[in-house]
Amino acid sequence: MATFFQRTNNFTRGIRFRLSMVYSALFGVCLVLISLVVTGEYLEFARDEHDQFLRNFAIDLSQFVTPGQSANSVSLDVPLSEKIKYFPFVIQNTAVTVRRMDGTILYKNRPDIKIPFELGLAVKNGYSHRHMDFLLPTGVKMRGVNVRVPHEPEDFIIQVASTVENLTTQQDRHLFFLLLIIPLSILVTAFTSTIVAGKALDPIRATIQRMEELLKTESYRSLPVPDTHDEIADLTRTYNNMLARVKKTLEAQDQFVAHASHQLNTPLAIMRGELEVLLSKNRSPEETQRFHESLAQELERMGQLVRDMLLVSRVEAGKAHFRFVPVRLDEVVTETVARLAPRAKDKSIALKLDLDPALMDNDVALNITGERQLLTCLCENLVENAIKYSPLNSVVQVSLRLSNGGVCLEVSDHGPGVPLEVRQRLQRSERFFRGEHTANISGSGLGLYLVGRIAEYHSSPLEILDRAPLGGALFRVSFPQNPNA
């Protein structure tokens, strides 16, 4: 019993049940509306037909009205052999009254039935006939017609009335149809739509089953796309695209963890080795100071690596995790150059900042929409890499100038340049990559990756060019003009 209720609960919460209920409800509403309209039109037609029969019957009877024995009486002799239009009325059950124009009754076949008469209507010019409804004292509903009949020397009015039993019977039959046939039709529709919906959902269930099988095997194989050109095929393609993205993300995550572990183990191993050497015997103060300085450098390197990794995780979390506001790009560049100037001086490198004079009076171009921390990281990585890879007594040029309505940031150096392989790996958004010529230079391998992603977030293309024949590399980031500035 518990299993039955569990299956019933699962079925009622499924798409198949909801689709069948929606189809049944729509069909039921449409059927009820159509039935009401059709029934109303049919009953209206039946009443009009009944009225037409009444009028024809009155006209047929009028030809048998003859003067009676007195001036205030007439007789109605209807020969039974005469082929007149009795149908659907029986003359013995039909009330017939003949009146003068002033309302005086000349003939009446049913003394127990009084047919209403309006004197004002009868004397109107152009009066032909009129139908009316009335109730007998017994509660029986009647419907009659007053027909004006031309006659010499005076016109008269013949009234014919009969019960509306036929109309009531037809109305009851249609109500029976509404109360019985409609619910039965809805039940049949619900059953049929459940079967049809189940058949329509079979491809989805098959797709779900294949997904579950892949999950059990922990496989990332794509599902075969059915050749149906419908939503099922679109769903399968979307699932395959999502699966490929998840696979790529997991592979990148594994690669990131492996490289991060390697990068963190390197300074830790160096620090552990130097500590073992330091503690192996008594050291002079000068030797101890050198060990301390080396340990401090490795700690700084490891700290920078951790900061870069945290920033990478934030960048890869999505653009929505940052707050983009108007930022003065010249302020970010100037502060970065001032902060890194001492490091350039230690290598006897001239760090030059060139600001386009046309920018100084162009607040629109300098105010870009961005995230200040990311822009600072972009500038620091470009300038720091240029200082790091430039030889002694060289020049690192940082320029900020107008370009195509926006502002262009350029950082150039006289270092070894950027190999084609590194540029290709940058385009593939690979992390922790470094060129062969940088083996003896400290770094995390995240700098250019961060620069590329940050430039992408600011809709600004990153270009890496060779400064042939001078040597070195030129990094260019073109920021578009902020339309809201």
Higher pLDDT, 60 or 484: 60
> Under a CB-based contact definition with an 8 Å cutoff, are residues 65 and 107 in contact?
yes
Q: How confident is the model at residue 439 (pLDDT cuts 50, 70, 90)?
A: very low
* Antiparallel, parallel or unpaired: β 141-149 and 156-163: antiparallel
In the predicted model, is pLDDT for residue 435 greater than 60? no
* Pair of tokens at residue 156: 């008269």
pLDDT value at position 252?
65
Residue 20 has what pLDDT?
Answer: 75
Tell me what the pLDDT averaged over the chain comes to. 77
Q: Where in the chain is the domain with CATH 1.10.287.130?
A: 220-317
DSSP 341-359: HHHHHHTT-EEEEEE-HHH
pLDDT at 398: 92
For residue 236, count other CB atoms closer than 10 A to its CB: 21
**Position 35: which residue type?**
S
List where CATH 3.30.565.10 sits in the chain.
324-479
**Which of 68-72, 176-180, 383-387 shows the lowest per-residue confidence on average (mean pLDDT)?**
68-72
Give the pairing type, strands 156-163 and 65-67: unpaired
Does the structure show a pLDDT above 70 at 485?
Answer: no
**Cα–Cα distance between 248 and 252 in angstroms, integer?**
6
pLDDT on residue 218: 66
In this prediction, residues 11-29 reach a mean pLDDT of: 72
Q: What is the pLDDT of residue 88?
A: 56
Question: Which of 386, 400, 376 minimizes the C-alpha distance to 351?
Answer: 386
Query: Which residue is it, tokens 């046309």?
Result: 358
Per-residue pLDDT reduced to its tens digit, 128-186: 778 888 888 888 888 888 888 887 777 888 888 888 877 788 778 777 877 787 788 87
3-class secondary-structure state, position 298 = helix
3-class DSSP assignment, residue 81: coil
Of 410, 334, 336, 328, whose CA–CA distance to 364 is shortest? 328
- Whether 44 has a pLDDT exceeding 80, the answer reads yes
10 Å CB burial of residue 98 (0-12, 13-18, 19+) is buried
**How much is the pLDDT for 402?**
85
Q: What is the pLDDT of residue 444?
A: 52
Residue whose pair of structure tokens reads 């990068």 in the numeric block: 263
Tokens at 95, concatenated: 């009330």
CA distance 352 to 410: 12
In terms of average pLDDT, the best of 44-58, 275-289, 382-396, 453-467 is 382-396
What's the pLDDT tens digit per position in 397-407? 999 988 876 88
Give me the CATH topology for the region 324-479. Heat Shock Protein 90 (3.30.565)
- Helices 447-457 and 372-389: crossing angle in degrees, nearest 10, is 140
State the CB neighbour count (10 A cutoff) for residue 455: 22
Pairwise pLDDT comparison (271 vs 1), residue with the higher score: 271
- Confidence at residue 335, expressed as pLDDT on a 0 to 100 scale: 92
252-300 pLDDT, tens digit per residue, is 677 666 666 666 676 777 778 878 877 888 888 888 888 888 788 778 7
Is this model's pTM higher than 0.85 or not? no
Q: Measured between alpha carbons, how far is 66 from 89 in angstroms, rounded to an integer?
A: 22
Q: How far apart are CA 169 and CA 219, in angstroms?
A: 71
Q: If one looks up domain 220-317 in CATH, what number appears?
A: 1.10.287.130
Q: Which pLDDT score, from 0 to 100, does residue 399 have?
A: 92
Strand residue runs (E) in 254-349: 325-328
